[in-house]
Structure 1
Amino acid sequence: MPVDLREYRLVYIGPAESQTAVGDYAENFVNAVQPLFGEVVQCRTRGPGAESVADVLRCRRAVADLVAGGPPGRVLVHAELAAGAVSAFWSIAGLPGVPVTATIHDPPQGIWWPGRTKFVARHKLVMHGLHYPLRPVSRMVEGVVNGDRTLFALTRTGAESIKAVYPRADVAYVPHLVPERPDLRPVTERPKAVGFFGHVYRGKGFEQIAPIREALPDDILIRVAGRGTEALPGGPGVEIVGAVDGPAEDAFFDSVRAVVIPYGKRHFYAETYPASGSVAHAFAYRTPVVCTDYGSLAEFDEHGTAVVVRSGGADADQVAASLAGAIVELVGDNQRLADLGRHVDAYRAACSGPRTAEGFAQVWTDMLSRASVSV
């Protein structure tokens, strides 16, 4: 007999809203899955590098208490794991007597820096001197913690990478949730501009703005928005908007015909295959994407939602020139913009909150049903 999730308490662990892109995802995700369960209780954490050892211990105790307070045999724990999410990772390590699942945001590993507390994060030499040489150890530790659990990936590429590293894990692919946003005017009616959007950190490609700007004609404006972008240099043809939320975010996307995602290697530890929160935001506003083929971005070529630039072994200048060429071709072609917009609209519906909740519910129900049969 299938398990009824309405009889379960979900203990949810994830970063607070606005604590990196994963925090934004967590807020949308927990709101989407909440109707599935009889009860949802949460332990929300700070962003990577902002948590002390005391914070980690408090989160671990809080999660244990939330598990103990639920109905016996009717508790499920789910965590959002990202590169430096130490509280989430250590709160599910060795958690006894309860099914635990996790979404891996930086596949193939859930956490790359398991010791990145506030003190360690402040000292770059300590941070990488500790974690880089101990990469095999961190991978082994995660294999012990999560190696035979059910793990979710938000891209097919990410799912395959997790299976390769942790073959005992049960890996499920559910696409990155596309949040609900207001309907804007069609992209063909928006100004002749492209946007760069997201949190500023290594691998996001913001350093490509200048060479792309040089290769674009003067009549195409670049607008840049997101947390940390206010510190980026502007200049002729480059408008720095800064952090945007609510109506300001709506206005930003209403002012661009496409969003440029020039991702590259995120860190020097190993290749990672994250889903893009920036792409999800663009799709939420029915806005197509021009991107590199780095990691899992190449998958969007299959959906007809993006113009994917094949980078191969090209250097940074060549990639910038290719992206600029793709931008020029796209923003001046109303028919192509309209076609991409229709594909984005279909993808947006398929990855909405309710559809995402259905995908997770199916995996959770199957997992819990198998466990109940084996008892």
Structure 2
Amino acid sequence: MAPEATPVATLKDYRLVYVGPADHETAVGDYAENLTRALRPHVGELVEHRTLGPGSDSAREILGHRRAVANLVAGGKPGRVLVHAELAAGAVSAFWSIAGLRGVPVTATVHDPPQGIWWPGRTKFVARHKLVMHGLHYPLRPVSRMLEGAVNGNRTLFALSQIGAQSIRDVYPNTDVAYAPYLVCDRPRVRAVIERPKAVGFFGHVYRGKGFEQIARIRRELPDDIVIRVAGRGTEALPGGPGVEIVGAVDGDAEDAFFDSVRAVVIPYGKRHFYAETYPASSVAAHAMAYRTPVVCTDYGSLAEFGTETGAVVVPMDSDDPKALPAGFSAAIEALLNDETRLKELEANADRTRQERSPENVAAAYAAKWSEMLARQGRLH
């Protein structure tokens, strides 16, 4: 009588320890909230350890996060635990929670590639003192890059754009890099774009490189019949004025109402910080897709991957200065808002891309990569 075949394990036999910012703790926290819900059906158990936003934890609290993650790993069945972390520029708690973890497979999503974090010493104290913060990290950029390589250089990392994935491969050639598109979350259906007011929106968290500094120039260059509406965390501190409506932070019904009030969202991104070129995927573009809203953007960084097929008008950068607004950017906004046929086309393409990048589809891409990685490492037996 032939011996029975040994059952083969699957991802459903694994505990996934998920480490990332809490909901509403930056765009990465929002991303994590949507992704974890979609991941649960793919694993046997999903346990979470959430952190505060960058610069919010003391050194002692960071050690506490590290111990908590280690305890979640120890609480799983030996040989059946997988750890995944969300890494962004200053997300030191997640980074140090996975640094040096042994005996378990560890993966991470890199939100600001090519590095997972850029300021590994950004504790609460350091974050409060700008001179200390950059005086410490800027001259030690080579050390930071080597540290990142030592921690994650031989792991599987996910990037949210093809350009971002390639940037990681270029810097860390021993890393196994996978592309998973930035997920587009479910949102209520709002009015068709041609039924919305003749307005264009700026959306997102205000910080360097997000294009909010271009509002005044774009306002001067647009005709008076096009209103600019500005919404997101920190926008309440921006100056308004004739033709510029400051909405402030929005969530839930207020977010729905904002996207229902604009025909397109503009993303005039430039260089985010002076440390190096980074290639983050755009959470603002993902929000626009969720509401079937076209975007007008530069081709800076990963935005170069957008185009008509994803519901975007892309205006190429025409200057060596990454902070400069390309000539013709405002004209592209005006042309789009006055072209109903073009608006309908981009709305349909944004809707199709929204479906392709649904949380369920993106979670399936993560699960497929994890299964391939575990099989390659001989962990599915």
The answer to whether residue 94 in structure 2 is matched with residue 88 in structure 1 is yes
Which of 221, 224, 227 pairs up with 1:215?
Answer: 221
Verify the 8 A CA contact 1:149 1:169 in the aligned structure 2: yes
Q: Which of these residues, 262, 265, 268, is aligned with residue 262 of structure 1?
A: 268
Indicate whether 1:108 and 2:114 are aligned.
yes
Partner of 1:199: 205
1:158-307 maps to which residues of 2 (within 5 A)? 158-301=164-307, 303-307=309-313
CA contact (8 A) 1:106 1:274 kept: yes
The amino acid across from 2:83 in the alignment is V
Aligned in 2, Cα 1:103/1:260: closer, same or farther, shift over 3 Å?
same
Correspondent of 1:122 among 128, 134, 139: 128
- Whether the 8 Å CA contact 2:79–2:379 is kept in 1: the answer is no
Report the Cα offset of residue 303 of structure 1: 2.8
Whole-Å Cα distance in 2 between the matches of residues 190 and 70 of structure 1? 51
Deviation at 1:32, TM superposition (A): 1.1
Q: What is residue 26 of structure 2 aligned with on the other side?
A: 20
Query: Does structure 1 residue 53 correspond to structure 2 residue 50?
Result: no
The alpha carbon displacement at 1:86 in A equals 0.4
1:323 to partner: Cα distance? 1.6
Change (3 A) 1:55 1:303: farther
Contact 1:2/1:369, CA 8 A, preserved across alignment = no
1:138 match = 144
Letter of the 1:354 counterpart: E
Distance verdict in 2 for CA 1:3–1:361, change over 3 Å? farther
Distance in 1, matches of 2:30 and 2:224, equals: 34
Pairing 1:67–2:67 present: no
Task: Specify whether residues 25 and 373 from structure 1 end up closer, same or farther in structure 2 by C-alpha distance, changes over 3 A only.
Answer: closer
Q: Distance between the aligned counterparts of 1:374 and 1:36, measured in 2?
A: 15
Q: 1:35 deviation in Å?
A: 1.4
Amino acid at match of 1:70: G
Q: Report the Cα distance in structure 2 between the residues aligned to 1:112 and 1:317, rounded to whole angstroms.
A: 20
- Give 1:319 deviation, angstroms: 2.1
Q: Which runs of 5+ in 2 are unaligned?
A: 1-6
- Of residues 200-209 and 302-311 in structure 1, the stretch that sits farther from structure 2 once superposed is 302-311
Q: Which amino acid aligns with 1:222?
A: I
Q: 1:306 Cα deviation (Å)?
A: 0.5
Task: Please report how far the alpha carbon of residue 373 of structure 1 lies from its aligned counterpart in structure 2 after TM superposition.
Answer: 6.3
> Pick from 135, 156, 162: which aligns with 2:162?
156
Task: Tell me, yes or no, if the aligned pair for 1:50 and 1:117 is still in contact at 8 Å.
Answer: yes
SS in 2 for 1:95: coil
Contact kept, 8 Å, 1:211 with 1:321, in 2: the verdict is no
1:371 equivalenced with 2:370 (yes/no): no
Q: Could you say what secondary structure the match of 1:22 adopts? A: helix
Deviations along 1:246-273, whole A, 9 cap, x unmatched? 0000000000000000110000000000
Contact kept, 8 Å, 2:157 with 2:177, in 1: the verdict is: yes
Q: Measure how far apart 1:34 and its partner are.
A: 1.3
For the aligned residues, what is the CA RMSD? 1.5
Residue 336 of structure 1 corresponds to 342
Structure 1 position 317, deviation (Å): 9.4
Q: Deviations over 1:70-111 (max 9, x none)?
A: 011110000000000000000000001000000000000000
The alignment partner of 1:224 has SS state of: strand
Work out which of the residue numbers 344, 349, 352 in structure 1 matches 2:358: 352
1:169-217 deviations in whole A, cap 9, x for unaligned? Answer: 0000010000100011111111000000000011101000000000000
Work out the CA distance in 2 between the residues paired with 1:320 and 1:300.
Answer: 16
Whether the 8 Å CA contact 1:116–1:127 is kept in 2: the answer is: yes
Structure 2: distance between partners of 1:315 and 1:78: 36
Give the Cα separation in 2 of the matches to 1:172 and 1:342: 28
Is residue 79 of structure 1 aligned with residue 88 of structure 2? Answer: no
CA deviation map 1:275-303 (0-9, x unaligned): 01111001000001000110000101263
Q: Any idea what the Cα deviations from partners look like across 1:114-150, whole Å, max 9, x if unmatched? A: 0001100111110001000100001001101000000
- SS across alignment from 1:372: coil
Matched-pair contact (CA < 8 Å) for 1:32–1:354: yes
Aligned-residue offset at 1:312: 2.5
Give distance in 2, aligned partners of 1:2 and 1:14: 30
Look up the equivalent residue of 1:61 and give its one-letter code: R
User: Given the superposition, is the C-alpha separation of residues 249 and 69 from structure 1 closer, same or farther in structure 2, using an over 3 Å criterion?
Assistant: same
Q: Quick one: which amino acid aligns to residue 330 of structure 1?
A: L
Contact 2:8 2:380 in 1 (8 A): no
Q: Aligned to 2:373, what secondary structure does the other structure show?
A: helix
Aligned residue pairs total 375
Question: What is the CA distance between 1:311 and its match in structure 2?
Answer: 1.2
Does structure 1 conserve the Cα–Cα contact (< 8 Å) formed by 2:285 and 2:295?
Answer: yes
Percent identity reads 70
The one-letter code sitting in structure 1 at the alignment partner of 2:276 is A
TM-score (norm 1): 0.97
2 CA distance for matches of 1:314 and 1:135? Answer: 23
